[in-house]
């Protein structure tokens, strides 16, 4: 077996308690980051669900020829922001109203003439569901001669925008704070591991070990601890998610990529934390 | 082999530990480094193995200019030296064999060559039977033999020993000292710092004496001690 790997594994065997403590510390630090991540992921899901309802309706002037409408529908669907454009005729608008507004069925039944205009309902692609793009598309729809009026919940879209900005800012700040705290805690843990072996390091140097040689097992060990900590953190997050899902609300869990990112983050902190601790130690003695 | 030329050593806190020290130790020599506590014996050795920077003067050790040595070359210097201390400095959680093998592995020696080389030096120090023992299972004298085996395994041209018998009783002291003499007889230079004047008198080796950081006596240049001491 490679010497670096052997030495790294030996360290786990020789100091099982400290190793377990390091892994646990890393796991809990990352677990806190993970919990926050879960909240962020679910908040984002919720916002996306709300944004799904963003819709622009272009009401058409009565008597617009169906050919023009079909052409316009094609044009609109070709807008880069647009996901779908659906023509709703006067008749189907009425039919929908009858189905949806059961209380008014009688009134609607007795109508001599259909008062509802035909319309084109436009949905935007997910990444364009914000005030700026909605306004933009609405403006372009107004440009069609046979469009009478364009409606979308302006206030509502703007509020959604603001909510998204706040969520992103809070997420960034709190997430970064948690990550920094995790890095500090993990760094301290790794420092303990290095100090515990300072006598050994001194002896290694005495017999002519290069700094690289001394460093390598520590880096590997740190990366392994970080990875294990990350895996445990994902496991804990999953447990927390299961509980929440069962007793509180329907929530979402990390995607595979996000779970992998947590483990990767742990591995990197372990690696760089070790590099920093050993580096500092080697420079001082 | 080892050449000090007008060497001064000052520690950041504390005064001059070495003052204008010059000497030359040839290949295969056995040299005692003596002097009272605090005279600078350990400091001389530390300069040799580049554990402390030289303040001024020149230190040359088997072709290395130690005062100008880049940090990255220090390990290369140390692989040419064997170093032994009063407190053995063995790794407690490794067996005698593993302690010795460790010094070889550090140099990137081929794994297949380890067992034979380790066994050879353990035999040389008389501990072939105790290779599997951990330091705590060995007497002080035996631990020092393991440390000497570790120092020898890289086949150094110089063995530095800083009070190697300081923690040993008389019998173990004689044994370790005899071992160092044998090592010297097979061609390795030995520099041994010691308080033990009985030991020094026993053997016909060169003596370098320090006093408060200054070299006050070198048997290879000065009159024999007994005459020099009486004016
Ligand atoms: N790291 C250090 N910082 C400051 N002063 C030091 C340091 N190391 C040694 N000294 C000083 O340098 C002087 C020489 O110390 P050194 O250890 O070389 O003595 P020594 O001859 O080996 O003594 P001993 O027989 O007690 O081992 C002493 O005065 C000591 O206090
Ligand atoms: Mg000393």
Considering the entire predicted model, what is its pTM?
A: 0.76
Interval between CA A280 and ligand 1 midpoint (Å): 26
Domain regions of chain A by residue span: 3-49+161-284, 55-151
Mutate to test the interface with A, among B105, B108, B112, B151 (most CBs of A within 10 A): B105
Residue whose tokens read 């970080």? A226
Q: How many CB pairs under 8 A join A and B?
A: 41
Q: Is the CB of B40 under 6 A from ligand 1?
A: yes
Interface check for B197 against chain A (CB to CB < 8 A): the answer is no
pLDDT bucket at A285, cuts 50 / 70 / 90: low
> Does B60 score more than 90 pLDDT?
yes
Rounded Cα distance, B145 and A179, in Å: 51
Hey, what are A34's tokens? 């993970």
Which residues of A are less than 8 Å from B98 in CB distance?
Answer: none
Rounded Cα distance, B145 and B125, in Å: 6
B78–A207: do the CB atoms touch at under 8 Å?
A: yes
> Does B12 score more than 80 pLDDT?
yes
Ligand nearest to the CA of B38: 1
Q: Torsions phi, psi of B206, nearest 5? A: -65, 145
Give the pLDDT of residue A129: 86
- Chain segment A67-126, per-residue pLDDT in tens: 888 888 888 888 888 888 888 888 888 888 888 877 777 776 777 777 788 888 998 888
Hey, what are B167's tokens? 């923690």
Which of A104-113, A155-164, B87-96, B154-163 comes out lowest in average pLDDT? A104-113
* Residue A200 DSSP label: H
Q: Are residues A90 and A116 in contact, defined by beta-carbon separation less than 8 angstroms?
A: yes
Interval between CA B42 and ligand 2 midpoint (Å): 4
Q: Is the CB of B15 under 6 A from ligand 1?
A: no
Write the residue with the smallest CA distance to atom 30 of ligand 1.
B38
User: What mean pLDDT is predicted for residues B34-47?
Assistant: 96
Best CA proximity match to A146, nearest among A75, A231, A60, A216: A60
Best CA proximity match to B59, nearest among B89, B88, B81: B81
Give the pLDDT of residue B231: 38
Q: Which residues contact A284 (CB under 8 A, 6 or more apart)?
A: none
Mutate to test the interface with A, among B90, B106, B148 (most CBs of A within 10 A): B106
Percent of chain B with pLDDT over 70: 97
Q: Which residues contact B77 (CB under 8 A, 6 or more apart)?
A: A208, B49, B50, B61, B62, B64, B66, B69
- Chain segment A10-55, per-residue pLDDT in tens: 878 877 888 888 889 889 888 888 888 888 888 888 888 888 778 8
Q: Torsions phi, psi of A105, nearest 5? A: -55, -45
Which residues of A are less than 8 Å from B159 in CB distance?
Answer: none
Rounded Cα distance, B161 and B146, in Å: 13
Residue B150 CB burial class (10 angstroms; 0-12, 13-18, ≥19): buried
Best CA proximity match to B85, nearest among B183, B165, B179, B178: B165
pLDDT bucket at B227, cuts 50 / 70 / 90: very low
Give the pLDDT of residue A1: 59
- Chain segment A165-222, per-residue pLDDT in tens: 888 888 888 888 877 887 787 778 778 888 888 888 899 999 999 999 889 888 898 8
| Residue A77 vs residue B193, higher pLDDT | B193
* Residue B132 DSSP label: T
- Chain segment B143-162, per-residue pLDDT in tens: 999 999 999 999 999 999 99
Best CA proximity match to B164, nearest among B83, B91, B80: B83
Give the pLDDT of residue A280: 86
Give the pLDDT of residue B228: 44
> Does A248 score more than 70 pLDDT?
yes
User: What mean pLDDT is predicted for residues A123-152?
Assistant: 86
Strands A56-60 and B64-65, sheet pairing? unpaired
CATH class label, A55-151 = alpha beta
Q: Is the CB of B208 under 6 A from ligand 1?
A: no
Give the pLDDT of residue A75: 85
HSE-up of residue A270 (Cα within 13 Å, Cβ side): 31
Q: Counting atoms of ligand 1 from 1, which one is nearest the CA of B39?
A: 21
Q: Are residues B14 and B20 in contact, defined by beta-carbon separation less than 8 angstroms?
A: no
Q: Which residues contact B43 (CB under 8 A, 6 or more apart)?
A: B9, B17, B18, B52, B213
Best CA proximity match to A267, nearest among A218, A236, A225: A225
* Residue A130 DSSP label: S
Interval between CA B35 and ligand 2 midpoint (Å): 10
User: What mean pLDDT is predicted for residues A55-63?
Assistant: 86
Q: In what order do the strands lie in the sheet with B56-61?
A: B16-25, B2-10, B56-61, B64-65
Give the pLDDT of residue B225: 67
Give the pLDDT of residue B75: 94
User: Tell me, what's the ipTM?
Assistant: 0.88
Q: Which range, A101-110, A254-263, B164-173, B222-231, has the best average confidence (pLDDT)? A: B164-173
Percent of chain A with pLDDT over 70: 99
A208–B78: do the CB atoms touch at under 8 Å?
A: yes
pLDDT bucket at B226, cuts 50 / 70 / 90: low
Rounded Cα distance, B35 and A65, in Å: 115
Rounded Cα distance, B192 and B181, in Å: 11
User: What mean pLDDT is predicted for residues B106-127?
Assistant: 92
- Please name the residues between 2 and 21 in chain A that touch chain B, using a CB distance below 8 Å: 3, 14
pLDDT bucket at B126, cuts 50 / 70 / 90: very high
């Amino acid at each position: 077996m490679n010497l670096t790997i052997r030495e790294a594994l030996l360290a786990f065997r020789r100091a099982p308690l400290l190793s377990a403590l390091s892994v646990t510390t890393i796991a809990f630090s990352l677990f806190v980051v993970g919990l926050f991540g879960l909240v962020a992921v679910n908040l984002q899901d919720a916002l996306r669900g709300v944004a799904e309802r963003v819709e622009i309706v272009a009401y058409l002037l009565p008597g617009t020829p169906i050919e023009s409408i079909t052409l316009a529908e094609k044009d609109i669907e070709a807008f880069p922001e647009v996901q779908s454009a659906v023509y709703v005729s006067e008749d189907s608008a009425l039919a929908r109203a009858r189905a949806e507004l059961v209380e008014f069925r009688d009134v609607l039944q007795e109508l001599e003439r259909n008062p509802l205009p035909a319309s084109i309902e436009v949905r935007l692609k997910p990444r364009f569901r914000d005030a700026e793009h909605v306004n933009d598309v609405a403006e372009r729809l107004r440009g069609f001669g046979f469009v009478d009026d364009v409606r979308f919940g302006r206030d509502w879209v703007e509020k959604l925008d603001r909510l998204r900005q706040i969520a992103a800012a809070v997420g960034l700040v709190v997430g970064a704070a948690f990550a920094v705290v995790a890095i500090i805690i993990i760094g301290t843990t790794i420092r303990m591991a290095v100090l515990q072996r300072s006598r050994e390091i001194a002896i290694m140097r005495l017999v002519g070990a290069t700094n690289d040689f001394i460093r390598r097992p520590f880096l590997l060990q740190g990366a392994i601890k970080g990875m294990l900590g990350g895996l445990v953190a994902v496991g804990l997050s999953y447990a927390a998610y299961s509980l929440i899902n069962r007793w509180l609300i329907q929530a979402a869990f990390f995607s595979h990529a996000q779970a992998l990112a947590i483990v990767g983050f742990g591995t990197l902190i372990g690696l760089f934390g070790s590099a920093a601790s050993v580096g500092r130690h080697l420079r001082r003695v | 082999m080892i050449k000090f030329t007008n060497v001064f050593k000052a520690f950041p806190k504390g005064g001059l530990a070495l003052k204008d020290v010059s000497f030359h130790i040839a290949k295969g020599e056995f040299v005692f480094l003596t002097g009272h506590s605090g005279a600078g014996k350990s400091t001389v050795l530390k300069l040799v193995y580049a554990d402390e920077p030289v303040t001024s003067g020149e230190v040359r050790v088997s072709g290395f200019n130690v005062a100008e040595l880049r940090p990255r070359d220090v390990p290369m210097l140390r692989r040419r030296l064997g170093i032994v201390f009063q407190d053995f400095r063995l790794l407690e959680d490794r067996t005698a064999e593993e302690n010795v093998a460790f010094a070889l592995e550090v140099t990137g020696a081929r794994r297949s060559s380890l067992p034979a080389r380790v066994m050879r030096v353990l035999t040389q120090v008389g501990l072939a039977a105790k290779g599997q023992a951990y330091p705590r299972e060995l007497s002080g004298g035996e631990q020092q033999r393991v440390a000497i085996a570790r120092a020898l395994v890289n086949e150094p041209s110089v063995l530095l020993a800083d009070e190697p018998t300081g923690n040993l009783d008389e019998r173990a002291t004689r044994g370790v000292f005899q071992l160092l003499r044998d090592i010297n007889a097979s061609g390795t230079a030995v520099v041994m710092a010691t308080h033990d004047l009985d030991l020094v008198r026993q053997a016909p080796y060169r003596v370098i004496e320090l006093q408060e950081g200054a070299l006050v006596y070198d048997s290879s240049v000065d009159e024999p001690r007994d005459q020099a001491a009486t004016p």
